[in-house]
Amino acid sequence: MSSKVRIFTTPGCGYCSQAKQFLTEKGVEFEAFDVSSDKDAMQEMRKMTGGARSVPVIAVCDKVLIGFDRTELENALKCLE
């Protein structure tokens, strides 16, 4: 069973680290994928977003967010409550 929150990142991406820190602070469990080394994750991320090439991509329940926007992510996380 995969986690309800998945985040696709690259090592040089500041917003990815901030997004992960935000989830940790909120006590949300998540699974992180480094798409620079994990090609399957890269394929999946691109399929999920219809071809996006930008990180972070955050999948929460059935929503897919491109980029890290605190308010948007906070709203999306409501499905976990």
Chain positions contacting another protein, by CB under 8 A = 10-18, 22, 35-36, 42, 50-55, 66-67, 70-71
Give the span between the Cα atoms of 70 and 12, in whole angstroms: 20
User: Between residues 4 and 17, which has the closer beta carbon with respect to another protein?
Assistant: 17
Strand ranges (DSSP E) for 1-81? 5-9, 31-34, 57-60, 63-66
Q: What's the min distance (Å) between Cβ of 23 and another protein?
A: 13
User: Between residues 3 and 53, which has the closer beta carbon with respect to another protein?
Assistant: 53
Q: What's the min distance (Å) between Cβ of 1 and another protein?
A: 27
Q: What's the min distance (Å) between Cβ of 16 and another protein?
A: 7
The count of residues in the chain is: 81
On the CB side of 54, how many CA atoms lie within 13 Å of its CA? 9
Show the tokens assigned to 44.
């999946």
User: Between residues 1 and 75, which has the closer beta carbon with respect to another protein?
Assistant: 75
